[in-house]
Amino acid sequence: MTRIDPTVHQRELGERLRKLRSERGMTVEDVAQSLLCSAAKISGLETGLRRQSLRDIRDLCSIYNADDSTSVELMDLARGAREQTWWTQYEDLNLDPYLGQEQEATAITSFTTYYIPALLQTEDYTRVIIGTIAPKMDPGIFEQRVEVRMRRQAILERDIRPRFSVFLDEAVLHRQVGNAALMAAQLAKVLEAAHDGKATIQVIRFDVGIPATVDSNFVLLEFGEDRDISPIVFVEGLTVNQYLEREVDLNRYREAVGYLRDSAISPDASIQYVADKRLRYLSR
């Protein structure tokens, strides 16, 4: 049996709880009052971004008058959400809720204007990016973050891997991270991923104007129609990360992805453009 990541159990459990509450005609405030807790806690349990305790699930099943089979299923999901994952060994990781979903996604769509997406970065490129964003980071934490970023890339080596679509603003290719040799090696890795079918790369040229999104970067994660879990949009910030899963937000980002795809040059033309840019770095 394929092991499901605990974070995905968490989100699936949250969606099941939200559905139960809606079916009972209860508001978040109603449930919070019954549990003698804050409405924010109930919202956190339902989004799955807050880990649900077995006691919380037991109490919620009682409030919702869930039948025995439903209660057992929810408790099993709660136990699954409490399993340890490979990244729990690291002391400081602000992407913990994101990583499990990235590991289980069947489709990943990334847009960035600043740097190559994490799943395609070389270790040298990663070191410069993390060191630039957080120059005062503890050296031990720095090494952990580099290691985690490299380990995340294993999902692209799987026999059954996610469909990975990358939209790169042209600025990413022009912005030199480290020296020219480092950039040439980084673009070689991007080209290798494209040639091996691990990623579909499309470049958005400067001459198309402003990209069709106000965010400088975002990732849309999708999980397949056979899973009881909705897509989610992740927007990474300097101090706060956003997780968007409301249908209105998802529709807006799907629309943005469509606009980005229409404004980008084709995958074949993009590969040639990246290859040409790599040659320019090699010639310096």
Q: In this structure, which topology does domain 6-83 adopt according to CATH? A: 434 Repressor (Amino-terminal Domain) (1.10.260)
Distances, alpha carbon 118 to alpha carbons 61, 98, 144, 276, in Å: 39, 13, 14, 22
**Domain ranges within the chain, ordered by starting residue:** 6-83, 93-120+155-282
144: alpha, beta or left? (left if phi > 0; alpha if psi -120 to 50): alpha
- Spell out, as residue ranges, where the chain has pLDDT lower than 70: 1-8, 49-50, 81-97, 214, 226-228
Would you state the pLDDT for residue 83?
Answer: 65
Would you state the pLDDT for residue 44?
Answer: 82
Would you state the pLDDT for residue 7?
Answer: 67
Q: What is the pTM (predicted TM-score) of this model?
A: 0.76
Q: How far apart are CA 116 and CA 111, in angstroms?
A: 9
Question: Was domain 93-120+155-282 assigned CATH 3.90.1720?
Answer: no
